[in-house]
A = this chain, B = another copy of it.
Amino acid sequence: MSLVIVGSLALDTIEAPAGSVSDVPGGSTSYCSLAASYFTNPHIVGVVGEDFPDSVIALFKDHHINLEGLVVEPGKTFRWGGRYAKNLDDRTTLFTDLNVFETFDPILPETYRNASHVLLANIHPGLQHKVLDQLESEAFIVLDTMNLWIETAGDELMTLIKRVNMLVINDEEARMLTGERNYGKAAQKLKEMGPEWIVIKKGQHGALLFHENQVFTVPGLILDEVRDPTGAGDTFVGALIGYLTQSRDHSFDNIKLAVVFGSVLASFCVVDFSVDGITYLEKADLDERYDEFVIMSQF
């Protein structure tokens, strides 16, 4: 069983109340693949420029991330800058320099095309379609997206949603796509668009999983300090599909656990800048954090 992740690779500049960092690893694929690497060996497809640091490549390799689908193009890596308000909920984009990412054309190496699980991490829905077109297997497909694509590529997104098994979006995006503020009604409409599984992320309030007539909720962990929320959603979905790839079990009970492990990794992500919170974690760290979720939610 193998997991393919296709998304963006970037170098981020982040300004937050707790501090600032420049040219640190970012993009959906960085977070997704590092999070997934605690459960399986992810195979990534992406593009970076010649300036992409060797140290980040080494980090990916240390995490047993397969880089056969990583292309290095002449030019600069995609760069993104953002500034968080004091409440950490509001974020302003400072700049988006696509650089080599502007002409990204995801090509799956032959060895990737029989993947059992595919994560369409957050990139343009047109590119996400291209990834699915290259698959030669019946994979379990998870789709992540964002408000930008709902606004600017709605038609492509709607045909894409029909092709996936699970849609993972946040509460605002769910409202944009369905016009419903009620989570149950929004999830019902989203299921009618195609996916059997819907996950609605609610930030610090946790996440909801919908399947058939069932609902499961995982709480947000109470953290003393959140330093950088960037990539929390990518980390969540990366760990979720990593857990599914390893466990090969798409029952409701097992997908509940995948959602819990998504939350476990996301809770590590936000306490440090960039991907620093989710590198080189030990199994004991994950087990301990999992136990905190158990204590917090089991009665």
Chain A residues within 8 Å of B, Cβ to Cβ: 87, 181-185, 187, 202, 204-206, 208, 214-219, 222-226, 253, 256-257, 260, 295-299
**Chain B residues closer than 8 Å to A224, beta-carbon distance:** 182, 184-185
**Does more than half of chain A's interface fall in helix, strand or loop, or is it mixed?**
mixed
Copies in the complex: 2
Determine if B216 and A296 form an interchain contact, defined as CB atoms under 8 angstroms apart.
yes
20 A-B contact pairs sorted by A residue (CB < 8 Å): A87-B181, A182-B222, A182-B223, A182-B224, A182-B225, A184-B222, A184-B223, A202-B205, A205-B205, A208-B222, A215-B222, A215-B296, A216-B297, A216-B299, A217-B219, A219-B219, A256-B299, A257-B299, A297-B297, A297-B298
**Chain B residues closer than 8 Å to A297, beta-carbon distance:** 216-217, 297-299
Q: Considering the chains assembled together, what is the distance between the CA atoms of A226 and B204 in angstroms?
A: 23
Q: Considering the chains assembled together, what is the distance between the CA atoms of A297 and B207 in angstroms?
A: 11
**Chain B residues closer than 8 Å to A225, beta-carbon distance:** 182
A293 (CB) vs chain B CBs: closest residue: B299
**Chain B residues closer than 8 Å to A256, beta-carbon distance:** 299
Determine if A217 and B296 form an interchain contact, defined as CB atoms under 8 angstroms apart.
yes
Q: How far is the CB of A170 from chain B (nearest CB, A)?
A: 14
A184 (CB) vs chain B CBs: closest residue: B222
Q: How far is the CB of A259 from chain B (nearest CB, A)?
A: 8
A87-B181, A205-B202, A205-B205 are contacts. A299–B253 as well, Cβ < 8 Å?
Answer: yes
Q: Considering the chains assembled together, what is the distance between the CA atoms of A187 and B215 in angstroms?
A: 29
**Chain B residues closer than 8 Å to A260, beta-carbon distance:** 299
**Chain B residues closer than 8 Å to A183, beta-carbon distance:** 204, 222
**Chain B residues closer than 8 Å to A222, beta-carbon distance:** 182-184, 187, 208, 215
Q: Considering the chains assembled together, what is the distance between the CA atoms of A184 and B225 in angstroms?
A: 9
List of 3 A-B pairs having minimum Cβ-Cβ separation, nearest first: A217-B219, A184-B222, A205-B205
Q: How far is the CB of A286 from chain B (nearest CB, A)?
A: 15
A222 (CB) vs chain B CBs: closest residue: B184
Give the one of A181, A202, A214, A297 with max B CB within 10 A: A297
Q: Considering the chains assembled together, what is the distance between the CA atoms of A205 and B171 in angstroms?
A: 12
Q: Considering the chains assembled together, what is the distance between the CA atoms of A222 and B217 in angstroms?
A: 10
**Chain B residues closer than 8 Å to A223, beta-carbon distance:** 182, 184
Q: Considering the chains assembled together, what is the distance between the CA atoms of A224 and B183 in angstroms?
A: 9
Determine if B296 and A298 form an interchain contact, defined as CB atoms under 8 angstroms apart.
no
Besides A215-B296, A216-B299, 18 other A-B contacts (C-beta < 8 A) = A182-B223, A182-B225, A182-B226, A183-B204, A184-B222, A205-B205, A205-B206, A206-B217, A208-B222, A214-B295, A215-B222, A215-B295, A216-B295, A216-B297, A217-B296, A217-B297, A219-B219, A257-B299
